[in-house]
């Protein structure tokens, strides 16, 4: 593919995904345009879509990390996580979740880190990211895909902002002096029936490893993590499909609980 063809493909992929989001109608995968191994182009599509959101008045509140589970990595044939961007209108903490905002929602439980310091260096260590965390909170990430039937490869999900949707933070706040992420266990239920369980080791061996990967990657992209941002560090167990009327409740040991109720509306 020539550079001109590649640029045209990136623009076309962004346009397809934007139309799916704005028209509330899932689209075909974008791998026909990007291929399945060109992560640079996929992140450039993501950046075009992020810039589109920023131009519409959205504000960045942090990042989410995906593909932290070895099982999911094997499923997609990859050996690294990916990331997406969180915006202010994705945060529904303390609110019911209007299912009509979403196309094909699934939910997963994870640890959210809120940063108290910037992470802007090319020599970061786990100790550095631990020191930068102001506190952790229990979180539900409501993932969504603009691609019909969740028919995704790595380039599809990266281009689609890592299949980001919405998120909900629980009320609990713990410093890392009082809570050890890798030692936690998680249980998540939908309408009272357990649908997922896992532990801190399911997230790259330690959720702080995921945060370190993101901090290094964000720095390399020239858009480092900043104090005050929220980082959703990756699922601690399998995701579950949700629909209007569902209530999701997750308990993360040593950290606290988080819940969300999905209602049949299309606005907050």
pLDDT digits (tens, 9 = 90+) for 113-160: 999 999 999 899 999 999 999 999 999 999 999 999 999 999 999 999
Residue 114 lies inside a defined structural domain of this protein: yes
260's enclosing H/E stretch is strand 256-263
Residue 28 lies inside a defined structural domain of this protein: no
Torsion of CA 211, 217, 219, 222, to 10 degrees: -140
Q: Over the stretch 238-254, which tens digit does the pLDDT of each residue have?
A: 999 999 999 999 999 99
Residue 193 lies inside a defined structural domain of this protein: yes
Residue 121 lies inside a defined structural domain of this protein: yes
Q: Over the stretch 60-118, which tens digit does the pLDDT of each residue have?
A: 999 999 999 776 777 666 778 999 999 999 999 999 999 999 999 999 999 999 999 99
Residue 182 lies inside a defined structural domain of this protein: yes
This prediction's pTM? 0.95
Residues 6+ apart with CB under 8 A from 167: 64, 86, 90, 91, 92, 93, 112, 139, 140, 141, 142, 230, 232
Mean pLDDT (the chain, rounded): 95
Q: Over the stretch 158-191, which tens digit does the pLDDT of each residue have?
A: 999 999 999 999 999 999 999 999 999 999 999 9
Supply 218's token pair: 């964000």
Domain hosting 200: range is 60-263
Other beta carbons within 10 Å of 244? 15
pLDDT at site 266: 74
Residue 203 lies inside a defined structural domain of this protein: yes
CATH number at residue 210: 3.90.850.10
pLDDT at site 74: 72
pLDDT at site 76: 66
Percentage of residues of the chain with pLDDT beyond 90? 90
The mean per-residue pLDDT over the stretch 19-30 comes to 97
Q: How many domains does the chain have?
A: 1
Residue 152 in contact with residue 163, Cβ under 8 Å? yes
Residue 38 lies inside a defined structural domain of this protein: no
């Amino acid at each position: 593919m020539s550079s001109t063809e590649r640029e045209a493909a990136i623009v076309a992929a962004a346009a397809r995904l934007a139309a799916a989001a704005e028209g509330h109608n899932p689209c075909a995968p974008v791998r026909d345009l990007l291929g399945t191994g060109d992560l640079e182009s996929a992140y450039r599509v993501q950046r075009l879509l992020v810039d589109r959101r920023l131009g519409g008045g959205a504000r960045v509140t942090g990042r989410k990390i995906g593909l932290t589970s070895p099982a999911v990595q094997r499923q997609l044939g990859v050996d690294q996580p990916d990331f997406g961007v969180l915006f202010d209108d994705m945060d529904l903490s303390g609110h019911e979740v209007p299912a009509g905002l979403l196309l094909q929602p699934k939910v997963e439980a994870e640890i959210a880190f809120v940063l108290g310091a910037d992470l802007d260096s090319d020599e970061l260590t786990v100790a550095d990211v631990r020191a930068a965390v102001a506190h952790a909170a229990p979180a539900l990430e409501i993932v969504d895909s603009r691609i019909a039937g969740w028919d995704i490869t790595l380039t599809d999900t990266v281009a689609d902002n890592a299949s980001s949707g919405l998120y909900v933070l629980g009320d609990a706040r713990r410093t890392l002096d009082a809570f050890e992420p890798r030692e936690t266990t998680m249980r998540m239920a939908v309408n009272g029936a357990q649908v997922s369980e896992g532990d801190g080791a399911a997230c790259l061996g330690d959720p702080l490893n995921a945060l370190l990967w993101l901090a290094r990657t964000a720095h390399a992209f020239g858009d480092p993590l900043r104090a005050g941002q929220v980082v959703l560090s990756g699922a601690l167990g399998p995701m579950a499909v949700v629909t209007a009327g569902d209530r999701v409740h997750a308990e993360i040991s040593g950290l606290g609980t988080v819940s969300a109720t999905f209602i049949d509306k299309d606005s907050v």
